């Protein structure tokens, strides 16, 4: 048995494909009655949104950066390994991950690395480092560009 498609959802809900797409992808401009019908069809059919297909159709690639202290610390080495492993498994979902090693717990080096990220096009950045007032401005700039920061 094949998985239900968005066309199946639209047909079951009695709405157009475009309306079903807007509901499933939370794009708005849909009447509450139609939203309810689409959600009911999604539930009854067991429809699961295919993230890889959605990203592929939009040509969307999600780029993530991880700033991690350089060195031979076993904990950070494991984090690097897990990031690489997750990135390999998410490649089909059009997600890339880049590990950027920075001087271990050096505020100036971390600040320079964050400023360098401003010149690149990342969707999200995870940073392992010290909390410092010197990092607030560059982190605010990243957020202002729409980059998710943790």
CA distances to 13, 101, 117, 125 from 138, rounded to whole Å, are 47, 18, 9, 12
**42, 72: one domain:** no
**70, 135: one domain:** yes
**105, 71: one domain:** yes
Domain count, the chain: 2
pLDDT in tens, the chain (150 residues): 688 999 999 999 999 999 999 999 888 899 999 999 999 999 999 999 877 667 666 777 889 999 999 988 899 999 999 999 988 887 767 788 999 999 887 899 899 999 999 999 999 999 998 889 999 999 999 999 999 999
**10, 45: one domain:** yes
Q: Identify the pLDDT of residue 68.
A: 94
Q: Identify the pLDDT of residue 56.
A: 65
Which structural domain, as residue segments, surrounds residue 108? 61-149
Q: Report whether 84 contacts 90 (CB < 8 A).
A: no
- What does the buried/exposed string (b/e) look like for 5-34 if buried means 16 or more CB atoms within 10 Å of the residue's CB? ebebbbbbbebeeebbbbbbeeeeebeeeb
* pTM (whole model) above 0.85: no
**87, 114: one domain:** yes
Q: Residue 147 and residue 139: Cα distance in Å, rounded?
A: 9
């Amino acid at each position: 048995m094949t998985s239900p498609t968005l066309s199946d959802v639209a047909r079951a809900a009695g709405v157009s494909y475009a309306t079903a797409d807007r509901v499933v992808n939370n794009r708005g401009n849909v009447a509450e009655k139609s939203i309810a019908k689409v959600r009911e069809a999604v539930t009854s059919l067991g429809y699961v949104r295919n993230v890889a297909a959605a990203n592929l159709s939009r040509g969307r690639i999600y780029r993530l950066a991880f700033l991690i202290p350089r060195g031979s610390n076993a904990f950070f080495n494991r984090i690097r390994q897990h990031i690489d492993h997750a990135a390999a498994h998410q490649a089909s979902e059009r997600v890339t991950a880049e590990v950027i090693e920075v001087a271990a717990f050096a505020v100036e080096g971390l600040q320079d690395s964050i400023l360098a990220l401003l010149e690149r096009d990342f969707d999200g950045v995870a940073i392992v480092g010290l909390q410092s007032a010197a990092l607030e401005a560059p982190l605010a700039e990243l957020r202002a560009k729409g980059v998710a920061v943790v």
